[in-house]
Structure 1
Amino acid sequence: MHKRHVRIHPSSRTDRGVHAIQQYFHFDTELNIPMSQWQYAMNRTLPDDIYVNNVVTVDDDFHCRYDCVGKRYRYKVYQAQHRDPFQSGLKTFIPETLDLGKMNRAAQQFIGTHDFTGFCSQKTEVESKVRTLYQSEIVKTDDGFDYIVTGSGFYITWCVS
């Protein structure tokens, strides 16, 4: 569309192997495409594993990363007797029976403002490891459960096993 490299500014990075739903980004453009045509134009040029759901105009001083007010992660777990190859890369397999009630009570302990230094990678350049979590819960699904965590920001290496 632009016939040149266009830098996009995402709200956050997405690690390799992670699926992003509602990953926001912004970019600057001089193209004069009607707003109603941007979604179609971008989806025609993007790879098949990326889809733009919505396009809006933002103020010139808006920055997707720095104006982000929170992030939500959903870790999907399926439970069965045997590993399902069709779930590989989409959900984590745990065959053991787990007490979701106890897990949910433990997850609630993360809600609030805490120092997450113990959960951080040693290589991080982020100075403050203090984050506020607004949501931390286990939600039962048809084939297992999801762990949903919503917070003010994440530069934390989360380990779910």
Structure 2
Amino acid sequence: MENTREMFQIMTRRFGLLDKNCCTAGGVDISLIQSHIIYEIDRKHNPSIQQVADSLSIDITTFSRQVQSLVKLGLVKKTQLPEDRRINILTLTTEGKYISTVIDGQMNNYLKEVFSHMSEFEQDMVINSIKLLNDSMAKSKVCCTTLG
């Protein structure tokens, strides 16, 4: 039987998930967590800070620091909800939208190149396997925790 953990370790390194910066767009270095935040803000319609933090499973303190760094870079705008000033809504600035589009293009090109080394059947098999794995991980009680 193959060493499953080793396979995931290698895939993580090849996907660049251990790199300090996952990508550079518009002359700005973007960390992996910042890339995920930008993606989620772009994907949702005016999400609150809490909604994005929850969808990424990031504690609110760490998340708030990352959002502040994106605000300072001019990529994200944080606006208080008029009817409930405790809630902050996140939107991408024009520059943030541009960065999101560039990163999306880079990732799609990378995945297209990776999949180009597979037959259509193999591509479908990998995509279906990833869906199955994601579904199983969502059902797991130990996801994102260390095993005791």
Fold match, TM over 0.5? no
TM-score (normalizing by structure 1): 0.26
Higher strand share: 1
| Larger of the two Rg values belongs to structure | 1
TM-score (normalizing by structure 2): 0.27
**Larger RCO of the pair (alpha carbons < 8 Å, separation 6+):** 1
Higher helix share: 2
